[in-house]
Amino acid sequence: MTVPTPITVTSSAFADGEAIPRDHTCDGAGRVPSLAWSDVPDDAGALALVVDDPDAPSGTFTHWVVLDLPVDTRELPDGRLPAGTPQAVNSGGRTGWYPPCPPSGTHRYRFTVHALSRATGVPDGAPLERALAAIRGFAVASGTLEGTYSR
C-alpha cells in the first residue's frame, strides 16, 4: 500500500526501532502496548490500526486489525478501544490482539495507523483479507512505529 505517511505513531512502552518489552509479548503478560499518534489529516473520516510481523516464517503475520476508530481518537492506552470498535480476525484465527511471539530470532513488529477517507463499514470479526482490502481502499495517509522482539 503506497500512501503518504504524515502520521506520527509513538508508544510509552518502546521507541521506534527499539525492543518491545517482554510484558507485551507471549513470554510476558501479553498486554497491548499503549499507542498514541498525531498529524492525522484534516480530511480523514476514520482511522484503522494494523499490527503485523513481516519476518514471520510463512509470510507476514497480522497480529491485530482495528477498524473504523473515530477520527478524533489520538491514543489507545493499554490497547483499550472505544466501545463498539470493530476488530478483524488476525492471522492467529481470533479477533483481537495477538502478542508478539516469534518462533526464533529477532522479528520486527509494525504498528501502523491509517487515516481513512471514510469508515470501512467492515463488521467486528470480519475475515482478515476483507479488512485489509477495505483499509487499502480507503487509506489516505499512514504512519508506522516499529518495535522488535527476540527469542
Half-sphere exposure in the Cβ direction for 126 (13 Å, CA): 21
Phi and psi torsions of 5, nearest 5°: -125, 60
Q: Over the stretch 106-144, which tens digit does the pLDDT of each residue have?
A: 999 999 999 999 999 999 999 999 999 999 999 999 999
Under 8 Å between Cβ of 147 and 102 = no
Burial of 56 (0-12, 13-18, 19+ CB in 10 A): middle
**Mean per-residue pLDDT over the chain, rounded:** 96
Output the nine-digit C-alpha cell for 3. 500512501
Cα–Cα distance measured from residue 147 to residue 113, given in angstroms and rounded to the nearest whole number: 14
Could you state, in order of their start, the residue ranges of all structural domains in the chain? 8-150
Cα–Cα distance measured from residue 119 to residue 69, given in angstroms and rounded to the nearest whole number: 8
Q: Give the pLDDT of residue 23.
A: 97
Q: What is the phi-psi region of residue 38: left when phi exceeds 0, alpha when psi lies from -120 to 50, beta otherwise?
A: beta
Residue 7 CB coordination number (10 Å): 22
Report whether pLDDT(22) > 80.
yes
What does pTM read for this prediction?
0.95
Q: Over the stretch 28-78, which tens digit does the pLDDT of each residue have?
A: 999 999 999 999 999 999 999 999 999 999 999 999 999 999 999 999 998
Q: What is the mean pLDDT of residues 83-89?
A: 97
Assigned superfamily of 8-150: PEBP-like (3.90.280.10)
Classify residue 117 by its DSSP letter.
Answer: S
